[in-house]
A and B are shown apart, each in its own frame.
Chain A
Amino acid sequence: MTLGIDLSRIHPGFPDPVRGSQTVFRAIMDAVARPGLAVALNKAPEAPAPLARATGAIALTLLDFETPVWLDAGVLAGEAQAWLRFHCGCPLTSETQDAAFAFITRPEDGPPLSAFNAGDAKYPDRSTTVVIQLPHLEGGRPVRLKGPGIKGERTIAPQGLPGDFWEQVADNNSAFQFGVDVILASGDLLMGLPRSLQIQTEGA
């Protein structure tokens, strides 16, 4: 295939794609089913810069030629772009509305959640899944989550999000059934923030 990619420089993907993607998928499924819980991946291979292992593993597990992907400037600038195209065969798009998945590694500079596809009334599943890579999933401003997947409520404090991020999430989620679904990734941890959640920032 003529991908225009220098194959000698491509990082490997999963050493065993069948096992690797199955294990990672179960972790992603758990994370989306139990929002706000930091789920550890233990089979994620090293991913090229700027991707963390968890971010790369999500891509290897869920992307293929059927999923148009939007990448932020951070990913486009790095080796990761060629790696994603080679291992996943995913088409890239510069239109946030066309993206099935979006990967954001510089959340401060990224477009707002509202820029992405929120699905339509009859097919709300046709919305973008936004993967946001962060330095840490704790140590930031605490936020309380309620909703499906959470017994009572759960407090999380991911670090490195833009100041108005939780307002964006609250706006996104208040439009349920519409909305994007967010997955946070850091190191080899990931955390689901589906649109079904209610958000309460501490002190708000």
Chain B
Amino acid sequence: MAYVSVKGGEKAIENAHQWLAEERRGDPTVEEVAVAQIREQLSLAVDRVMAEGSCYDRDLAALAVKQAGGDLPEAIFLVRAYRTTLPRFGGSEPVDTERMNVRRRISAAFKDIPGGQVLGPTFDYTHRLLDFRLAADGAAPPEPAPLANEPQAWPMPTIGSVFAHEDLLEHDVRSGDDAPFDLTREPMSFPAGRDQRLQALARGDEGFLLSLAYSSQRGWGSTHPLCGEIRLGEVAVEFIPEELGFPIEIGEVTLTECQMLSGFAGSAQKAPQFTRGYGLAFGHSERKAMSMAIVDRALRRGEVGEDVDAPVQDEEFVLYHSDNVEASGFVQHLKLPHYVDFQADLQLVRRLRREHFERLNPSKEAAE
């Protein structure tokens, strides 16, 4: 059969876009999904897009999910490409998660801790049975969950406070007053500071971090982690405008924070102590925050004198490959034409094959 060559062009691209829009909409007799519906009813997808898109805006993230037809890495990319064009007014003050309005907070380390265990909205103990009632149209909204008898503790002490009097857990160290490293403005550099690393992990692909954390648990760079605390809730964001000189609250964000505890055998200089890995994600993203905390701790192997022999402990490996916008682009760029390099390879392989057969069969070559 003969092939017909086609001159690709603007028209082809436009037609492809039109077709894509049609597929995204699906059956037009089915009601179109509203951005508000995505924002409210697919809120965990929205959370992931905000976290990895590095932009806290539920409406924008919901729009991106809609535009991407539910392809979350594509939605993350849309948000990133928008975010990069936004003007920058400055950096906020560090958020204080102790002053979080906690909806969920659990510790696996102690049966009870100051502030208590708060189960909150979680999939954890749901039985994963498909709920066919949800398939029925027009179901009444679920009954609101009953309110607690007592209001939640506020501020809610962190796991660090439990250890405070014994010095059993390393303290958080502030890395000085320098502005933190910003990956959105500077390229990755090595060795990475913890600020650069945590930013990269916070923007990193949830699936990649999950697999890395899992590999660590299975022994590829184990840190023997234990979930010291995980909390979910809203915190205030404060900003100091140049002209005022004091902080004002500019809004609040939902965060999931995880503190993983790991042992540390101690060294000649340092007494044995528990160390921490830290995870923080926009929205309700426990899988992400926990994975991030495990990977953060594994990457601290240099500080605690552990050998590097597993992928999760190798900061160049982890940080260079955690960003799904970079990874997805590069993997998929293989769809672009490579005629020129392939022609070069073809030529070479044909030549090498010819030489190979000539070496094997010198007489046949002479006969030809």
Do any CB atoms of chain A lie under 8 A from CB atoms of chain B in the complex?
yes
Across-interface contacts of A1 in B (CB, < 8 A) = 242-243
Across-interface contacts of B243 in A (CB, < 8 A) = 1-2
Chain B binding surface SS class: loop
Instruction: Report A1-37 CB contacts with B as 1/0, cut-off 8 Å.
Output: 1100000000000000000000000000000000000
Within B115-170, the residues touching A (CB, 8 Å) are none
Bound-state Cα–Cα, A1 to B90, Å: 13
Bound-state Cα–Cα, A2 to B242, Å: 8
Please, which residue of chain A has its CB at the minimum distance from the CB of B242? A1
Min Cβ gap B241→A in Å is 10
Instruction: Report B243-255 CB contacts with A as 1/0, cut-off 8 Å.
Output: 1000000000000
Across-interface contacts of A2 in B (CB, < 8 A) = 242-243
Q: How many cross-chain pairs have Cβ atoms below 8 Å apart between A and B?
A: 4
Please, which residue of chain B has its CB at the minimum distance from the CB of A1? B242
Please, which residue of chain A has its CB at the minimum distance from the CB of B185? A66
Chain A binding surface SS class: loop
Bound-state Cα–Cα, A1 to B245, Å: 11
Across-interface contacts of B242 in A (CB, < 8 A) = 1-2
Please, which residue of chain B has its CB at the minimum distance from the CB of A123? B189
Bound-state Cα–Cα, A2 to B243, Å: 7
Min Cβ gap B112→A in Å is 50
Bound-state Cα–Cα, A2 to B241, Å: 11
Bound-state Cα–Cα, A1 to B242, Å: 7
Min Cβ gap A68→B in Å is 14
Within B221-245, the residues touching A (CB, 8 Å) are 242-243
Bound-state Cα–Cα, A2 to B245, Å: 11
Bound-state Cα–Cα, A2 to B244, Å: 10
Min Cβ gap B88→A in Å is 10
Bound-state Cα–Cα, A78 to B139, Å: 75
Please, which residue of chain A has its CB at the minimum distance from the CB of B186? A66
Instruction: Report B240-280 CB contacts with A as 1/0, cut-off 8 Å.
Output: 00110000000000000000000000000000000000000
Min Cβ gap B154→A in Å is 36
Min Cβ gap B239→A in Å is 15
Min Cβ gap A97→B in Å is 18
Min Cβ gap A121→B in Å is 15
Min Cβ gap A40→B in Å is 34
Please, which residue of chain B has its CB at the minimum distance from the CB of A3? B242
Min Cβ gap A66→B in Å is 8
Please, which residue of chain A has its CB at the minimum distance from the CB of B245? A2
Bound-state Cα–Cα, A1 to B243, Å: 6
Instruction: Report B323-334 CB contacts with A as 1/0, cut-off 8 Å.
Output: 000000000000
Min Cβ gap B244→A in Å is 11
Please, which residue of chain A has its CB at the minimum distance from the CB of B189? A123
Bound-state Cα–Cα, A93 to B242, Å: 21
Bound-state Cα–Cα, A1 to B244, Å: 10
Min Cβ gap A7→B in Å is 15
Bound-state Cα–Cα, A51 to B242, Å: 30
Bound-state Cα–Cα, A72 to B242, Å: 29
Bound-state Cα–Cα, A125 to B243, Å: 36
Instruction: Report A144-155 CB contacts with B as 1/0, cut-off 8 Å.
Output: 000000000000
Min Cβ gap B178→A in Å is 14
Min Cβ gap A91→B in Å is 13
Min Cβ gap A123→B in Å is 9
Min Cβ gap A167→B in Å is 35
- Give the 3 A-B residue pairs with the shortest CB-CB distance, closest first: A1-B242, A2-B243, A2-B242
Q: Can you spell out 4 A-B residue pairs with CB atoms less than 8 angstroms apart?
A: A1-B242, A1-B243, A2-B242, A2-B243
